[in-house]
Amino acid sequence: MNHPAAKIGAALSALVITLGASAAGIGTAQAGIAQAGVAQAGVAQAGVDRQAAWQAAWMAAPQRASAGFEPNWSEEGFSRQSVRQVVRLTAEGSSVRIRLSNDYGPSAVRLTGATVAYADQGASVRPDSVRHLTFGRARSADIPAHGGLTSDPVQLDVRPFQSVAVTLYFAGTTGPATFHSQAYASSYRAQGDHRADTAASAFTQATHSWYYLSGVDVTGGKQKGDTVVAFGDSITDGFGSTGDANGRYPDELAERLAATGRARPVLNAGIGGNLVLNDSAWYGDHSAARFRRDVLDQPGVGTVVMLEGVNDIGFSESDTPTYKPAPVVSADELITKYRQLIQQAHAKGVKVVGATLLPFKNSDHWGEHAAAVSDAVNQWIRTSGEYDAVVDLDRGLAAPGKADVLNPAYDSGDHLHPNDAGYTAMARLIADRL
């Protein structure tokens, strides 16, 4: 997609705008259609991106296949099966496209076909809304090894906070699937090709993860605000929120902004257990390794809210850490990495909101060292002047008279993760700073 696009005829240019299909290095429309290959399709898509002004409306940060905290289908993958995934968009548009990730797949994955439709109840979709997706004008395509695949645009009017169902069908065997572990939303599986089904009857299995689907983009909407990306760990991912209720703090933030006349798309780039300094088989690549993919490369991004570091600090305090060897880290190590992320964002013209770490005394992450490091990190976030804005979640969610304790009204029960009310409070504080 970095190659310069060749000039094409005026008639083909109009076709590119409306259908998103052209090829590079061609002299006529007929030759372009006939000769379009992988490289040309990539260049054509870049041209479409520039002309169509794509804006990300939903995303999930990809992870390598793993067992996780509850049963999922990532390690077994899919074979002659359809997987239907329901996601809620935070931007409007007249056309949509999907992005698929095989970032952690050692070989290409054959996608037999895919559809997008308005979601209804559970795995059902609204009749007459099903749209078959194409990839370089073909319904079947390969998701390349350690890479991604973007669909052609398809006309479908969507509004903010509308849920769509993306259904993928794999006639072959995928092997382990790149996925997002903790979705706090139901995904559904059916045996055979049910991508066009409107009823839910064939989708008899469900998990709480997303598979291969990493983004849904829109174009043609009136929404003008730059996209906000929430970057972090399980608190951003939504641990402790009610499942299938879109109660994570990024969901609440999007609703808050819209309700106060400042509507902007909000994306959730959280990964439960994620670390600033180290990779994990369960918890994804460390912050700097995924920051460009999950934040800076998102279409339309203008602001990132950074909330991460409690796992680096707290895993070493736990009697039974889920991440090993759980090294003991210093505040200086975390601050050095924060500075690198801020510099990367500013180099791309993206503003950075720094969020202090929430109170977590009495959780399994708490201890003498964790207390000292979290205090030092939070003080630096408040006073360094290196962020474009700061939101003090530490003080905003603390129990009255107990600075290190999460307010019981906001506590999901583990003294670390907020509940639905806590995520609403976070959204309110962050919206005020935006």
Condensed to tens digits (0 to 9), the pLDDT of residues 363-390 reads: 999 999 999 999 999 999 999 999 999 9
pLDDT digits (tens, 9 = 90+) for 170-191: 999 999 999 999 999 999 999 9
Average pLDDT of every residue of the chain: 90
Q: Is the pTM of this model over 0.85?
A: yes
**Higher-confidence position of 234 and 1:** 234
Residue 22 has pLDDT above 80, yes or no: no
**What pLDDT shows up at residue 42?**
42
Phi-psi region of 9 (alpha: psi -120 to 50; beta: other; left: phi over 0): beta
Phi-psi region of 220 (alpha: psi -120 to 50; beta: other; left: phi over 0): left
- Compute the distance between CA of residue 425 and CA of residue 374 in angstroms, rounded to an integer: 21
* Gyration radius (Cα) of the chain, Å: 22
CA dihedral (360, 291, 293, 275) positive or negative: negative
SS3 at position 138 = strand
φ, ψ at 160 (rounded to 5°): -60, 140
Confidence of residue 50 (pLDDT cuts 50, 70, 90): very low
Q: What's the CATH fold of domain 225-433?
A: Rossmann fold (3.40.50)
The amino acid present at 236, given as its one-letter code, is T
**What pLDDT shows up at residue 52?**
60
Q: What Cα–Cα distance (Å) separates residue 336 from each residue in 288, 331, 333, 356, 381?
A: 11, 9, 5, 16, 12
What is the arithmetic mean of pLDDT over 380-409? 98
**What pLDDT shows up at residue 324?**
81
pLDDT digits (tens, 9 = 90+) for 124-173: 999 999 999 999 999 999 999 999 999 999 999 999 999 999 999 999 99
**Higher-confidence position of 381 and 11:** 381
Q: Is 306 exposed, middle or buried (0-12, 13-18, 19+ CB in 10 A)?
A: buried
pLDDT digits (tens, 9 = 90+) for 237-280: 999 999 999 999 999 999 999 999 999 999 999 999 999 999 99
Domain boundaries along the sequence of the chain: 10-52, 56-216, 225-433
**What pLDDT shows up at residue 45?**
43
- Give the single-character DSSP code of 400: T
- Compute the distance between CA of residue 301 and CA of residue 55 in angstroms, rounded to an integer: 8
Q: What Cα–Cα distance (Å) separates residue 224 from each residue in 93, 150, 262, 389, 397?
A: 11, 23, 10, 21, 31
- Compute the distance between CA of residue 49 and CA of residue 345 in angstroms, rounded to an integer: 21
**What pLDDT shows up at residue 38?**
37
